[in-house]
Structure 1
Amino acid sequence: MNILLAEDDVRLGQLVSHMLKKKGGYRVDWVEQGDDSYDYALASHYDVLILDWMMSGKDGVTVCRELRSAGYCGPILMLTAKDALQDRVEGLDAGADDYLVKPFEMDELLARIRALGRRNFAPIQEESVSFRRFTLNRTSRNLYVDGNHVQLSPKEFQLLDLFLKNRGQVLTRDIILDRIWGYDADVSYKIVDATVKLLRKKLDAELIQSIRGVGYKLDG
């Protein structure tokens, strides 16, 4: 399972992220800003979103409400120190599927995640995006060029999907690192450049433009 954790308490964020990976075996992206959690949720696939209520920038309830307004259908678990009935109602009304009050035990958080993962939140639908000679199927994670299947590695798929969602915009290497590997990953710019190079070989090379000293852009 892929999990997005949004928590601005650095100590708690580090602990929860570590325990989710160690005890749950999950892949975890951890962000500290509400605005980042909104962007990450829409840019990548996550099985569960864990949103802290009180975050700098947009708070968790605002992020939850805006995600639901944008059509996001995945499970959302809210973490908060607020335990009044009115607060619980507000969080659930904003679109949260579950609610866990701080402080909490990791075993309970893991149980809540497993329960959310078993629930059917949305029908499975084929989602494809076409661009020039290419069609990317986000459900099967397949790329077709002129109707012919082209094999992509998981990172190549994520990178191409990121470019397509930000067509015509310059993506810095830092943004690509954050979105594809996670900002706390031990990955250098050389890995970004190498992955772009591999992806270019499977597309028209000129589609992904190098912006000197900055990053890359998919020709819009």
Structure 2
Amino acid sequence: MGTWRQLLDGLTVSVELTVTTLAVGIPLGLLLAVAVGSKSRPIRWFCIAFAEIGRGLPWLVLLQIFYFGLPEFHITLGAMLAATVGTGWGAGAFMSEIIRAGLDAVPEGQREAAAASGLAYRDILRYVVIPQGIRIALPPLIGFAIMVFQGTSLAFTIAVPELLSHAYGIGATTFRYLNVLIMAGILYAVIIVPCALMVGRYERQLRNFV
């Protein structure tokens, strides 16, 4: 029971890190998805570069940069904050493509009808394009959120006490790595499998609605 309790403590941290990562990544992804279509060339190219770096660098490298690299500039982030910033950047970069695909899937006729009714471009985005685009992009966003949850296991490299970190700690004490890693895998599955089933169900409902 003591082992399960420690692993559950780690699972709680993994879920918290997933939530904070998504809290950073989703708004960042939406901002990048909209800004990439900006008429301002500097803004557009800056956002493209920002997103490409976030997609191009492995999350492990991002975590190491924010935790070990920033102290070179006299900036020190706690392990949890560094993990949130690093994974949030990476998640936002990937989510920007998912959200942009959803925005592009909104029928052009609806944009034209909104413009003909006198709505400004900002209001068209706010009231027409973004609500429908997010609904279209929701299944892949939830699917990516599952991958974010799996990716939180990388945070053990910067001393975040998440699930895998607890599993390694227990294994180092008991020398029974296989057993404890299987237990950790079960806890990951308890979260991931229901979420994956929910994504599949929502996708079927969305197809029937369309």
Alignment TM-score, normalising by the size of structure 1: 0.25
Whose helix proportion is higher, 1 or 2?
A: 2
| Structure with greater contact order relative to length (CA < 8 Å, sep ≥ 6) | 2
Higher strand share: 1
Normalised by the length of structure 2, the TM-score is 0.26
